[in-house]
Chains A and B, each alone.
Chain A
Amino acid sequence: MPQGASLSLRDLEKYYDGSGAVLGVSLDLEPGKFLTLLGPSGSGKTTTLMMIAGFVDPTAGEILVNGRSVTRVPAHKRDMGMVFQSYALFPHMTVRENVGFPLRMRGVARSEAEDRIATFVKLVGLEALAKRYPQQLSGGQQQRVALARAMVFSPSLVLMDEPLGALDRRLRLQMQEEIKGIQRELGLTVIYVTHDQEEALTMSDVVAVMDGGRISSYGSPRDIYERPQNRFVANFIGESNFIPCRLGDQGEARRCELISGHSVAIAPTDAPAGSSAVIFLRPERLRLCKADDPLPNKVPGRITGEIYLGDSSLYRVRIAEGVEVKVKRPNRGIGMPIVEGDELMVGWKTTDSVILQT
């Protein structure tokens, strides 16, 4: 039984002096789910979060928590816990006092408050530092205090605004795991804002990719990554190849023609015959192979460059005049060695490709 609430946004809009920051955001999130608002700066993700928290008044639209509108409820009565990027710990209070602050504001009885504080300080692993002041803690420790403080009062929603942005990579990865673990364990509903696609993919149940004040794509991390709904999302998350093509006739085994004149099979799409589109393919779904390989789609290419990544190598392959693709190949020490200038085939499975209209 998740303790978090459900969240619904209905056509949420925010205009500042006539210019729109958020232009109609709608979504429904089940209790206990981890939603990430992912987007570049200026995409409206932070403004959306601020409206949910009650710090920014929406120009139009509704915010529903457990089906009840909180659009006109002041911030301090919304019962949401927020984690700020700058931590926003109260410098004149110890770790215990910081974590206890929301309980004090709610008039929770002393003995119960003590118990809750102890539980959550322990949950984030700071028992030994409970009497310290924020300035005496490292960045990661401060972030844990902020986390405990945002969860200690069993809020309906936990809001996080780029909470790991100021930490170094190793610590960030560790905190991602911990936050995810606590969220699952307590069944919290989390709204997480970030511009880091890796963070969004590893932590979320649902990702909302935002662009220009709108949700441009909404779905599970796997859907968003493997079957992007448009070019912006495909481009924003991970490495992508876009191969221009002209679509063939509708039908069971639909095909399209590349610039180079080769014909390849494509997944079903509604787009009309003869229209131009791009085939979207992730670099790790492309294979370098020989002409006799059983892969259904193969086009010849020439290796024009290699980037060594440690666990894998990224090859640039020119498959037509002005068309290069990136192919990721794991460094397992087997198979043929590949060097620049090699003439090879680039192949893929039809189901790994997505047709995106231009």
Chain B
Amino acid sequence: MWKKLHKHAEEIGARHLHELFSGDEQRFERLHRRTGPLLYDFSRQRLTGETLELLFRLADERELGDWIERLYSGERINSTEDRAAMHWALRMPDDSVEPVAGQTLLADVQAQLERMERIVAQLHAGQWRGCTGEVIRDVVNIGVGGSDLGPLMISRALEDHRAPDARELSVHFVSSMDGSQVSHLLHRLRPETTLFVISSKSFTTVDTLYNAATAHSWLSRAMDSDDSAVLRCHFLGVSAQPERMSRWGIRPENQLRLWDWVGGRYSVWSAIGLPVALITGMEGFRELLAGAWSMDRHFRTTPWRDNIPVLMALIGVWNTNFLDINAHAILPYDGRLKYLPAFLEQLEMESNGKSVTRDGRPVESRTCPIIWGDVGPNAQHAFYQLLHQGTEPVTCDFIAPVLRYREGRHDAAQQELLPQHDLALANCLAQSRLLALGEKALPETAPTDLFRRYHGNQPSATILLDELNPYSMGALVALYEHKVFTQSVIWGINPFDQWGVEMGKEIARSTLDMIRDGGQGREQVDGATLGLVDFIRRQRKGEE
């Protein structure tokens, strides 16, 4: 099938998107799909009906249906770590059948949700107290990677859906290991009214533990309470490792759990999503889970031709492997989705940035493309120039909500804000049109100067949400999760491990010793490292 697709690509790959559209008034009708709160338009992809048929056969050939069932059966499909990947179990409704015979997943998940609910209720009621008895007003999430990007992205996206009793609560995020975020934040906060959530699946992540230690000292310096009171009133922990949380000093009643069968970048559905629940309330958080679960059902039960995550994945494979496009931009036309590109960078590139197949051989084709992005209207003033007139082919996902500013909080300014949303939508549609059709999208007065010409033919998809709310957000994120999984099946790789990241952490440890006390292990490192370490040490000595 792979060969057939290559041959097919040779036949149609040279056809410009404007050719595909011209004379075909039904193209959009045929090439868009709708499920729940989402519309997926792929009519601006460089493909035909035949391409899709071939891609569906490729999916069958790679046993996609079987793999989906293996995912949802709780099999240990994360083979290199010998773990299951059951993030989907976190969003099962509580009246579901226990998915894996003999286990208590459902009950475990619900128990943690109830625990979250108690904590959220206490904070929203203004009754979580610091050790001087003052009301906690600021919650700081300390985490990195999956323990940061997911909760950060979704809680900022759902700011308009803030629960009424979350009015006075501010939620902050600290991730960077160099301490710049934490020190900037701590200057502005009062220790007496600040609660820290230490979020780390392994509870060994050094970035997080260093930031947590800084927060701990900041609290201890400011308050004359004994340490156990500080820990009891000012620290929550979220981890799959209760013993490590306890050893650090997190009180058992302040511990929230997740499990080894949840990957870090898939963990926002667990207690890692606490910051989201602190914004939206548990009702909103459960809506988020319900939206994701609706996408689970869609993914499991819909034939390939109507299965949106599968279509997205296969089209991505087509672009990467057969049209040789190796860059993909995420372009939300809604400022609330500011952190979506960063979130998807991790989800896609950490999952599918692999070059070894599940059976241990080097892959024979390209895998995950380079993914980046920004809020669309801002990116228009930044990197769109490259998309329009550069030399690199790039595919884009344009993402926008249809309805906006309907929430009560916008009452006063609604009249001014609605036209701004219309403007954003108009830009979204205009940019994707120009990227696809190039100057054919313009009136027939094509300029002769080359520097004014638009070659077009950049494929894109448009995803419209009826409205950006917890439910549609859940569906959108789950959509990308399943896209990533589907692509991993086609490429034959394991999307759930991240060994490349682990090794970096390892060698940082020995390098740290070298920076601090010189000598140790110098013979094992390269000349560049030695040169840089020596320069750093010399500079510091000069300062002393």
Are these two chains actual partners, yes or no? Answer: no
Binding site for B on A (CB under 8 A): none
Binding site for A on B (CB under 8 A): none
